Structure 1
Amino acid sequence: MRFVRFGPRGEEKPGVIDDDGQLRDLSAQVADLSGEVLARLTRLDVRAAPVVADSPRLGVPVAGVGKIVCVGMNYSDHARENGMQPPREPILFLKATTALCGPTDPIIRPLGSEMLDWEVELGAVISRRTRYVDEAQALDHVAGYVAINDLSDRSYQLERAGQWTKGKSADSFAPVGPWLVPPRDAGDPQDLALRLWVNGVLRQDGSSARMIFPVARLVSYASQFMTLEPGDILATGTPKGVGMGQRPPVYLVPGDVVELEVEGLGRQRQVVEDEPAA
């Protein structure tokens, strides 16, 4: 099953893509894909949900996201391309929830931004309140997996007093989706291909097998420092091939088209636009 939220921005309804590829409306069964619903996704009666005739916009496939917890330098090849040693512990930072957008919504380059970069990532969505969970039980707290583009402005991230969050949190800097796929349907989270193209050129071609810290470790680790709530998203890092790692560096400009996919989790497509002048 592949869960989605569809409709105009701010008015999305819960839905599911069935085994025949049909979009079905779940709004008669659940108010939204959020809260306690996330712990019982696979028990919903998909066949009883009516088919949606048209092809509406897809939004972020989970609602009620309280926080986006991101992991830096979690792929060995990405650490090497940045000339860094693999970290001894996971590097955590937060991304503002106002950065959330749908998988085909435009990327908005902020005012003054000249180093806009891409990062395809596997995201884990939390299903229930999680605190001090052991690594062995951590994946039992995952509702499903999503694809994320963890966009960044590298100058804001690295040259503005070293605060990663300020370079990661502009509006549109967290496209998520198109699908939320439950663990039983997503496969092994440590054996998924991740790819990203810019203007048709393959820039990232990696595998979650190259994570330094696996998803279970990351969920457990983050829960030692903060309570994870249903709907929170854990972005687990990116493989090599980001713009900053190109020689010379390559950054996104208006008109560029970014496409990405995480194996089994669907494909995104975004066009870069400039923030309108005030």
Structure 2
Amino acid sequence: MTYPRFLSFSRNGRHGYGLVVDGGVVDLSVRHGATWPTLREVIEAGRLLQLADESKNLEVDCTLDDIRFEIPIPTPEKLICVGVNFPDRNEEYKDGQQAPSNPSLFIRFPRSFTGHREPLIRPPESHQLDYEGEIVIVIGKGGRRIPEKEALGHVAALSLCNEGTIRDWVRHAKFNVTQGKNFDRTGSIGPWLIPYCDESQLGDIKLETRVNGEVRQSDRTSRMIFPFRKIISYISTFTTLIPGDVIVTGTPTGAGARFDPPIWLKPGDVVEVEAEGIGTLTNTIADEA
């Protein structure tokens, strides 16, 4: 099944959102921006699928090459990431621990991400820029203390993330990873949002990361330590989830830090994160100007 693809973009100095149709973009923000300024408001209104159906036969306004991709939800209230969520990834830590009983979580800021086709930025403070390919879920129906059996009913859409990390900066302090996870434009989200319709879109799909065409990470969501239902339920225990909240759900083994010696990303590299039914998120690497 082919699902609608919604994206956020900028063009000619204007920010907008649209629907991908026949390789082009129907600019929905021109038509509906007064009611729903961004895709976050479309999701809050529960109108993704209806808007896709109403717009699929409209004439495109521009090509994909005419736009600059932005992260799909430009200003989420919460952007929460899950760490160590695949069995082989847990074993990388070599600390003798069994799989954790609860998810490891941390927060990222929207400014730490950029869009599809945009370069990830290697800062001058460190050249240890690493990749982490992950699946993104976007909350459509808010809630607190959501039961696991009901959790997927709170998902509006899916996307992809390269949760780029400055490795030595996640070890700058004893008990956190915040610094190394939040350098400006070190990660990416996109290329678009796919409306969530049923569990087959998440239950057992392949997630793969490639660097310059070489497969570095490859696993299936059915092997996740904490499935999507658990993640949503657990997070909603301590914070109220609202429409547009973004959850980045964990990466397989194979990040550059785990090679001997480590293989860091460098300018000119091309990183692709691909998941079945969602698409491919592609970024180059550049040094900060």
Match of 1:181, SS state, is strand
Residue matched to 1:37: 43
- Superposed counterparts of 1:139-150, under 5 Å: 139-150=152-163
Asked whether the equivalents of residues 123 and 233 of structure 1 are also in contact (C-alpha less than 8 Å), the reply is: yes
Asked whether the equivalents of residues 104 and 270 of structure 1 are also in contact (C-alpha less than 8 Å), the reply is: yes
Structure 2 residue 90 is the aligned partner of structure 1 residue 76: no
Residues 172-223 of structure 1: per-residue CA shift (max 9 Å, x gap): 1331111101112784312111111112211111111110010111011001
Residue matched to 1:60: 71
Q: Distance in 2 between matches of 1:200 and 1:159?
A: 32
Q: Distance in 1 between matches of 2:125 and 2:74?
A: 31
Match of 2:100, SS state, is coil
- Superposed counterparts of 1:237-276, under 5 Å: 237-276=250-289
In the alignment, which of 18, 23, 26 is matched to residue 25 of structure 2? 23
Residue identity matched to 1:86: A
Residue identity matched to 1:148: C
Residue identity matched to 1:68: L
- Superposed counterparts of 1:183-198, under 5 Å: 183-184=196-197, 187-198=200-211
In the alignment, which of 3, 17, 29 is matched to residue 14 of structure 1? 17
Match of 1:12, SS state, is strand
Asked whether the equivalents of residues 106 and 273 of structure 1 are also in contact (C-alpha less than 8 Å), the reply is: yes
Match of 2:159, SS state, is strand
Match of 2:81, SS state, is strand
If the length of structure 1 is used for normalisation, what is the TM-score?
Answer: 0.92
Asked whether the equivalents of residues 134 and 273 of structure 2 are also in contact (C-alpha less than 8 Å), the reply is: no
Shift of 1:135: 0.8
Q: Distance in 2 between matches of 1:9 and 1:218?
A: 39
Residue identity matched to 2:74: A
Q: Distance in 2 between matches of 1:252 and 1:186?
A: 34
Higher strand proportion (structure 1 or 2): 2
Residues 86-123 of structure 1: per-residue CA shift (max 9 Å, x gap): 11111111111211210111111122213211100001
For the structure 1 residues 140 and 185, does the alpha-carbon distance in structure 2 shift closer, same or farther, using more than 3 Å as the test?
A: closer
Match of 1:71, SS state, is strand
- Superposed counterparts of 1:213-224, under 5 Å: 213-224=226-237
Residue matched to 2:128: 115
Percent identity between matched residues is: 37
Q: Distance in 1 between matches of 2:13 and 2:184?
A: 15
Shift of 1:36: 5.3
Asked whether the equivalents of residues 36 and 127 of structure 1 are also in contact (C-alpha less than 8 Å), the reply is: no
Structure 1 residues without counterparts, runs of 5 or longer: none
Asked whether the equivalents of residues 25 and 50 of structure 1 are also in contact (C-alpha less than 8 Å), the reply is: no
Q: CA RMSD in A?
A: 2.0
Residue identity matched to 2:86: Y
Q: Distance in 2 between matches of 1:11 and 1:243?
A: 36
Choose 221-230 or 1-10, whichever is displaced more: 1-10
Aligned length: 275
For the structure 1 residues 186 and 61, does the alpha-carbon distance in structure 2 shift closer, same or farther, using more than 3 Å as the test?
A: farther
In the alignment, which of 200, 220, 227 is matched to residue 207 of structure 1? 220
Residue identity matched to 2:28: L
Residue matched to 1:155: 168
Residues 119-144 of structure 1: per-residue CA shift (max 9 Å, x gap): 00001001132211111111111111
Shift of 1:65: 1.1
Structure 2 residues without counterparts, runs of 5 or longer: none
Q: Distance in 2 between matches of 1:173 and 1:51?
A: 32
For the structure 1 residues 31 and 134, does the alpha-carbon distance in structure 2 shift closer, same or farther, using more than 3 Å as the test?
A: same
If the length of structure 2 is used for normalisation, what is the TM-score?
Answer: 0.88
For the structure 1 residues 190 and 82, does the alpha-carbon distance in structure 2 shift closer, same or farther, using more than 3 Å as the test?
A: farther
Q: Distance in 1 between matches of 2:236 and 2:285?
A: 35
